[in-house]
Every structure is written in structure tokens, then in C-alpha cells.
A = this chain, B = another copy of it.
Amino acid sequence: MTGPSVADVGEDGLVAAVLARYPAPPAWVRVPAGDDAAVLDLPGAGLVACTDTLVEGEDFHRRWSSGRDVGVKTAVQSLIDVAAMGGRPRALLASLAAPADLPASWAEDLADGLAAECARAGAVMVGGDVSAAAQVVVTGTAIGTMDGLPPVGRGGARPGDVVALAGTAGRSAAGLALLLAGHRADAPEPAEAAAVIVALIGDHLRPRPPYSAGPAAAGAGATAMIDTSDGLLRDAARVAAASAVVIDLDPGALRPDGDLAVAASLLGAEAMDWVLAGGEDHALLACFSPGTALPAGFRRIGEVLPARPDRDRAGFVLVGGVPRSGEVGWSHFRPRLRGAQ
């Protein structure tokens, strides 16, 4: 039923099958994927590059995520990091390490997901690699261009700046909580909950980050920016630490949306925990000088305060003035530590 495995089709066969699924590249891809390396013609002043890995059992489960879902998620993770510098995503390389018995169709679906999300972000697949491993490990590396805009790092936030968010907060975590509680996008549910469950699980499995908000923020003079892959509190704390400031998030502006309220009541959970600590929304958190007209897609969610040496540690995040640890949120290796403590 599952068809041939990656071992059945072999390394060269798998590479050929994957390459055949990518659309014809634009003219600036001078040598496309399939040779030792790709050769691209891009504006080289302000070239953006980053890499991110997804591991089966840690970042996704094959029983919940299709190959296409994992392809989308891999592309999202790397491409949104380009946008988080204010860059425009242009190209993606992806490496797959997989057990020999992985269905070849799963790997082909992965390629479809990678290509589909690249198309959404305005980027193209330009390379990859295939290896054998005990579990599925997918690494994406994104290349982007600043196109004359100034890169926006984490360290430029100043007291008085407005903190703004483009994208969602907590929806991915709510979707994960629904999956962990046994809900499925295709299971029969009471009518009012079914649409919410489908939407939140979809947002967890296939996040839809606001790529164009990144260059828009850079163009509007954003002083600092980060993508909220590890949760609002944790990523805001990274900006606060790098900028030696305190960030005060406004709980009123972060009030959970109706979907989150429905899911929280279904699960007996606290929706605000998802909003503040849930990872993988891949929204963009940016700081702007006071008075800046926020670019389309951004809404105000807080403000930047000075770190007072007598009271605050730089890197503190407050919610409505109350200190909250920035250590809340996703951290690799942490799950494995739980049993040991």
C-alpha cells in the first residue's frame, strides 16, 4: 500500500524523483539543483543566510504530519528567519536523512511541501542532499536578499519603542495541545468545535508566516526584530537581552482569539499560556520608534522599557508590568531532561 521505500528506489533514483517535482527555476538560477552545487545570480550586497533542522519525534510526528506538512514546516522555519532580518526569501536547500524503509512517496511529498511553501514565500528550491539515518531529520537552509534595506537584528530596541507583532500567537500551541489530547482534523466532532479544531491543527502542522511583513518592517525603520519560533516570552526575552532593555507586553493586546477560547474550554486549558509560551507560530515580533506608523500586518502588543540596574535584569519580559521569566517556551534538549529531574 505504501509503495516502494527510499531504499527500493535508491539514492540517485530518489534525487531524480525529487528534482522532477520542482518547477522550472527562474532565469537568475544559472545552475539549478542537480549538480555539485547550485549557481545563482542575486544582488550580493546584503545576502541573508540561515539554517534550521526538524527532527522526527522532537519537531514532528509522522502519524500527525504528512511528508508535505514537514516540507512546509521545514521551509517555513528557514524562510521566516530571512524575513526576520528584513530580508526577502529567495532560495532554499533541504537535506533529508531518513530510514531506508521510509516510503519514497513520503520523500516526494516532502519535496512538494518544500516547493509549495517556497512558492508562497517567493523563493525557489535550489539544492538538497539525501542520507540514511535512524529517524527522519530534515535541514533547511534559506538564502535571501536585503535589496538595499538595512538588516534588522535583535539588539537595536530602545526604551520607548513600540513592540508589535505580525502573525498569530498561540494558535500553533493550541493545535499541538489538541493533537496531544487525541483530537484529529479528520475526526467527527461537535459542529461548533470541528471547524476550530481543523483550523488550529492546520496552523500547527502548516504554519503560514507573514513573510512580506519582514521587509516591510525593515523599510519602516524597525529597530529590532525576531521570529517567534520558540514562543512570545522566550523570543521577546532574546530581543530584550540583546538590546539591554526590558519588554513589557500588553495582556489586553494579546487577548486570545475566539478559536483559542473554544480550544481552551474543550481541553480545560489556559489560552493565555498558549499565547505567551507557545512556540512555532513563526510570527514576527518587531520594535519601532514611537510614532512610527506600523506597517501593514503589525499590531501593537507592548512597549520597550529601560532596564533599571537597581531592579531589572536586562532581558526581563513583563506582562502588564508583572515580571515573567523569558525561559518559558520551547528549548531543545529540555523535554529529555524532564525524566532526569
Contacts and interface: CB of A to CB of B under 8 A. Distances in A.
A127 B31 contact: no
Contacts of A85: 31, 35-37, 39
A61 interface: no
B87 A139 contact: no
Chain A, interface size category, equals 35 or more
Give the number of copies in the complex: 2
Contact of A47 (B44, B58, B129): B44
B333 A36 contact: no
Contact of A36 (B37, B45, B91, B154): B154
Contact of A12 (B31, B50, B227, B331): B331
A7 B333 contact: yes
Contacts of A145: 44
A220 interface: no
Interface in A91-141: 91, 93-97, 99-100, 126-135, 137, 139, 141
Nearest to A337: B7
A297 interface: no
B53 A139 contact: yes
A269 interface: no
A96 B130 CA distance: 16
Contacts of A84: 36-37
Interface in A41-56: 41-55
Contacts of A128: 51
Contacts of A335: 132
A59 interface: yes
A311 to B, nearest CB: 24
Of A49, A55, A135, most buried by chain B (CB within 10 Å of CB) is A49
A143 interface: yes
B39 A151 contact: yes
B58 A49 contact: no
A133 B59 CA distance: 10
A219 to B, nearest CB: 16
A334 to B, nearest CB: 7
Q: Which 10 A-B pairs have the closest CB atoms?
A: A44-B44, A37-B50, A100-B336, A141-B141, A36-B84, A139-B139, A7-B333, A51-B93, A42-B44, A39-B151
Given A6-B333, A49-B143, 5 more contacts: A10-B334, A31-B151, A37-B142, A44-B145, A53-B131
